[in-house]
Amino acid sequence: MVDALLELHGVSRAYRSAAGEVVVLKDVSLRIEAGEFIAIIGPSGSGKSTLMNILGCLDRPTEGSYRVHGAATEQMSPDELAHLRREHFGFIFQRYNLMENLSATENVALPAVYAGVEADARTTRARLLLETLGLGERTTNRPSQLSGGQQQRVSIARSLMNGGAIVLADEPTGALDHASGRQVMAELKRLHAQGHTVILVTHDAAIAAHASRVIEIADGQVVSDRGMDDPAVARSAAV
Ligand code: ADP
Ligand code: MG
């Protein structure tokens, strides 16, 4: 069988606590193909962020295997994982996670510092990305001088700095008003149309309806995984 872009097989993630072991992700198997637009939905605490962190190689499974482009991640060193992360993934978080002491341009350029890109080339690309996201006039602003929606668009630009072939967005509209949230979704749809693989966590059915595949998580397990052509999903998303 041809390798999927991302492939989880029997993945579990457990935490040790004083009360014993807590399994927050249980035997998850998924194949994600290049160019998909996926929404991950489920109640708070169900394991969505844990799954996203594993997909983005920010965290590792305690059991099971995870392959990126056919490469098994289990045996990789922290450096190799960091390299894989930089090369393939862009991250968007609910709270933007921008550095307050850096300008918009510097925030966007940051992932390329670690990738070893030369300073002028970084700045040029960061400004271009900000322009594409409608922030050409805001390049020198600090995060505190930007609205929530603008900060999230800075973080989208940052996710693209090293290419961002796979964009992982964990509740990207969760902290935004309706209009700013719509703008962020429009950007994610544009990225998908350009060929990026987009994986989005949301608990908003209207947001999930933008995706072409919806994976539902409950209590650490995948309880449904359907294309949006499926009438059952289309109905619930229309509410
Ligand atoms: P979601 O994103 O769906 O709200 P999470 O993936 O953040 O859920 O968390 C799933 C469960 O794992 C929650 O019960 C949470 O308390 C627990 N959890 C997350 N991170 C840790 C951690 N570092 N240590 C212990 N438990 C954790
Ligand atoms: Mg979460």
Kindly state if the Cβ of 49 falls inside 6 Å of ligand 1. yes
pLDDT at 234 over 50: no
With H, G, I as helix, E, B as strand and everything else as coil, classify residue 225: strand
Distance 121 CA to ligand 2 centre (A): 34
Kindly state if the Cβ of 15 falls inside 6 Å of ligand 1. yes
Q: Which pLDDT tens digit goes with each residue over 60-87? A: 999 999 999 999 999 999 999 999 999 9
> Are the C-beta atoms of 151 and 138 separated by less than 8 Å?
no
Alpha helices in the chain (DSSP H): 48-55, 78-88, 104-114, 119-132, 148-160, 178-193, 205-208, 231-237
Q: Which pLDDT tens digit goes with each residue over 118-137? A: 999 999 999 999 999 999 99
What is the rounded distance in angstroms from the CA atom of residue 182 to the CA atom of residue 204? Answer: 12
What is the rounded distance in angstroms from the CA atom of residue 139 to the CA atom of residue 122? Answer: 13
| Atom number of ligand 1 nearest to Cα 47 | 6
Kindly state if the Cβ of 47 falls inside 6 Å of ligand 1. yes
pLDDT at 1: 67
What is the rounded distance in angstroms from the CA atom of residue 224 to the CA atom of residue 70? Answer: 25
Helix H or strand E segment including 137: none
pLDDT at 192 over 70: yes
Distance 152 CA to ligand 2 centre (A): 17
Question: Among 50, 52, 199, which residue has the most ligand 1 atoms within 8 Å of its CB, making it the best to mutate?
Answer: 50
Nearest CA to ligand 1 atom 23: 15
- Residue 229 banded pLDDT, cuts 50, 70, 90: low
Share the mean pLDDT of the chain: 94
User: Between β-strands 89-93 and 166-170, what pairing exists: parallel, antiparallel or unpaired?
Assistant: parallel
Kindly state if the Cβ of 46 falls inside 6 Å of ligand 1. yes
Kindly state if the Cβ of 13 falls inside 6 Å of ligand 1. no
> Are the C-beta atoms of 225 and 215 separated by less than 8 Å?
yes
Q: Which pLDDT tens digit goes with each residue over 141-180? A: 999 999 999 999 999 999 999 999 999 999 999 999 999 9
Nearest CA to ligand 1 atom 24: 15
